[in-house]
Amino acid sequence: MKVKLRHEGVFVVGGIRNLDAFDGVLVGQRVDGELRYRGVVECGFRAADVLELLREAYAAARVPPYVNPPPRTRSEPVSRRRGAALGSA
């Protein structure tokens, strides 16, 4: 028997995992006024959304916004104003 587990919540997009090949977005959650890293969303993006995220990442500061940074990868931050309700399998 195979059971699918789905995690859902409202997250803030804080960065892009690989600017050269768009490998997904880094997401976080506000906890006690701080942005906490929660994981990566790798699929479910429209091409127009990816282009907008890439534009914002290139224009943003190069410092991750999280109080608990994600594991070391080639990632770039995105402006802090973007938020989204995302689900992951």
3-state secondary structure of 59: helix
Residue 80's pLDDT band, with cuts at 50, 70 and 90, is very low
- Residue of higher predicted confidence among 76 and 71: 71
Token reading at 4: 């699918």
- The pLDDT, as a whole number, for residue 64 is 65
Region class of 32: left (phi > 0), else alpha (psi between -120 and 50), else beta? left
Cβ neighbours of residue 78 under 8 Å, at least 6 residues apart?
13, 14, 15, 16, 25, 53, 56, 57, 60
What pTM was computed for the model? 0.59
Q: What is the pLDDT of residue 59?
A: 73
